[in-house]
A and B are shown apart, each in its own frame.
Chain A
Amino acid sequence: MSMARTTVSIHPVPTGLWAWRYLILRRLSQFGLLLLFFGTAHWGWALTEGTSLLSGNLSASEFIGLIPMADPFAVLQIFLTGHMLQTKVILGAAIVLGFYLLVGGRVFCAWVCPVNLVTDLAGWLRNRLDIHPLFHLSRQIRYWVLGVALVLSAISGVAAFEWVSPVGMMHREIIFGLGLGILALLAIFLFDLLTLKHGWCGHLCPLGAFYSLLGRTAPLRVRFDKSTCTRCGECARVCPEPQVLDLKRLATVGFVSAGECSNCGRCTPICPEGSLAFDFRPLIARHNAALEPRRTT
């Protein structure tokens, strides 16, 4: 039996911890960042006296008193209120923007954002309990929310999303002290669990929409080998944004090109044929070209 399986499958399906490697790394990244922020705020973690390790939060921070970082979406909203900012925060936003332009915008969503911990838990529980969605909502809604956030920032004179953001609330309240922001997270949890699958991250969050726009040109992408793919659909089953795995489009482009892909890495270990793998865009073309003649002849 097991012999038959290994001869059929071109690519041995990874088992054990190795199959969960991206999930484990994502959790390490998410909790690790929270811990670095928390340790700096509460236990005074510092490289040397006076140079805090990672001070601030996801809105803006400074690493070892040297490298500023800032949420480019927050900075954009503040710009739209008509205020000029200091170079430190603009430089910080540029650094973060550059990073996500390289690795894929929504890497923030899957690897950094603390709300992802809540929505992943809701998604996991939803699958276990087999809860069906209450209604359908277009995944494009988030771009409207993004637009409204920018327009409202210009009209109201404050950074519109930053004042209501559950992402900001969760991160701030974990690092700087609990408040009612926890209720907002409970709302997101229940919304994702009981009403709409991937409701917040996949439909509404304007920060995710902003990073989706950044992700369209990112070099780090999931490569797709159309010659080995058997169309089994395992990848789409675990993907939080299954519309990005449009196999027709993947076959022509050779990789997951949609900006909504968060490079979470759920699909790559689960693919029984190993048709999906992280790769860099320039290498993907070469890889696919090398495969093409061998497999088709």
Chain B
Amino acid sequence: MHNRREFLQRMTQGAALAGTGGLLWAYLLRQEVRAQPFALRPPGALAEADFNATCIKCGQCVNACPPHILNLATAGGSLPIGMPAYEPRTGPCVMCPDIPCVKNCPTGALNPGLTNIADARMGLAVIDSENCLSWKGLRCEICHRDCPLKGKAITVDPHPRLTSKHAVFVPVVHSDACTGCGICVKACPTAEPAIRILPARLVQGKIGDHYRLNGTGETAITQDFKPAPPPPPEAIPAKPGGLDVLNSGL
């Protein structure tokens, strides 16, 4: 009886200690997981929650990366601990056609289904039009020229310039082609880059399926849409409108 009582007491004490420690530990994990959400992951990285779970923090992608742009986040840094990320301003992804980082990932946190590097979606380039040289009327367009998918991911489009007869030529990013490699960020000549890579989920909106947009291809009107018929001639007042009409009842 005494032994059983002692055993139960020890077990309860252990469980209480484990529970207390576990709560603290869980809090620490939560803080760590929610660390800066702007981390740019290697090509093929799973969605954030899945990547956080499956990355084993081994650094084999880091070793495999030919330009050595990947780093494992250290403890106490701003990024979630131990996982690979790159900083495009100093070292953009060069989009190796054989994608060695993905091939060397043992867990599948970098999806082995990614075989064409142009299908990678590491992030999305976003332009600060207030500080972009092209938007200021200079023919900069360096981001466009350095873009590995130029003409698809970044195009240069004319844009009317206030009252001037001349247009400005501005870079435009297309999310259907931009991989988020960040070569544009490194190339941007402004003191702080006017083009940046952010995780697409942080910058991309969603229209919603209920909008029917004409002339844009995928979302073109498919149901029979008839414009309202013109009003019958008798509904149009014979007399001219204006103030007289407003006063006609007086």
A residues whose Cβ falls under 8 Å from a Cβ of B: 40-41, 52, 55-57, 59-62, 68, 70-71, 74-75, 78, 81-86, 88-89, 92, 140-141, 144-145, 147-148, 151-152, 155-160, 162-164, 168-169, 172-173, 175-181, 183-184
Contact of A156 among B21, B30, B76, B106 (CB under 8 A): B30
Binary interface encoding of chain B residues 35-78 relative to chain A, with 1 for a CB under 8 A from any of its CBs, else 0? 00000000000000110111011111011100000011111110
B75 touches A157 (CB 8 A): no
A residues less than 8 Å from B33 (CB atoms):
156, 158, 163
- Residue from A78, A152, A169 within 8 A of B56 (CB atoms): A78
CB of A157 within 8 A of CB of B53, answer yes
B158: interface (CB < 8 Å) = no
* B60 engages A56 (CB within 8 Å): yes
User: Taking A78-B54, A148-B21, A175-B59 as contacts, is the C-beta distance between A88 and B106 under 8 angstroms?
Assistant: yes
Establish whether residues B104 and A179, one from each chain, have CB atoms under 8 Å apart when the complex forms.
Answer: no
- Count A/B pairs, Cβ under 8 Å: 151
Question: Interface size (B, Cβ < 8 Å)?
Answer: 42
- B contact face: mostly helix, strand, loop, or mixed: helix
Q: Does B25 contact A (CB under 8 A)?
A: yes
Docked complex Cα distance between A145 and B22 (Å) = 8
Q: When the two chains form their complex, are residues A160 and B107 in contact, meaning their CB atoms are under 8 A apart?
A: no
CA separation between A70 and B30, bound complex, in Å? 25
Tell me whether B220 is interfacial, beta carbon within 8 Å.
Answer: no
Contact A61 B60 (CB under 8 A): yes
20 A-B residue pairings within 8 Å (CB atoms): A41-B59, A78-B54, A85-B108, A89-B107, A144-B21, A157-B49, A157-B52, A158-B52, A160-B29, A163-B28, A164-B25, A164-B28, A164-B29, A172-B59, A175-B59, A176-B71, A177-B71, A179-B73, A179-B77, A183-B75
Contact A81 B81, beta carbon cutoff 8 Å: no
**What are the 4 A-B residue pairs with the smallest beta carbon separation, nearest first?**
A179-B74, A180-B76, A60-B58, A181-B75
Cα distance, A85 to B110, chains bound together (Å): 11
Segment 1-43 of B: residues with Cβ below 8 Å from A = 14-15, 17-18, 21-22, 25-26, 28-30, 32-33
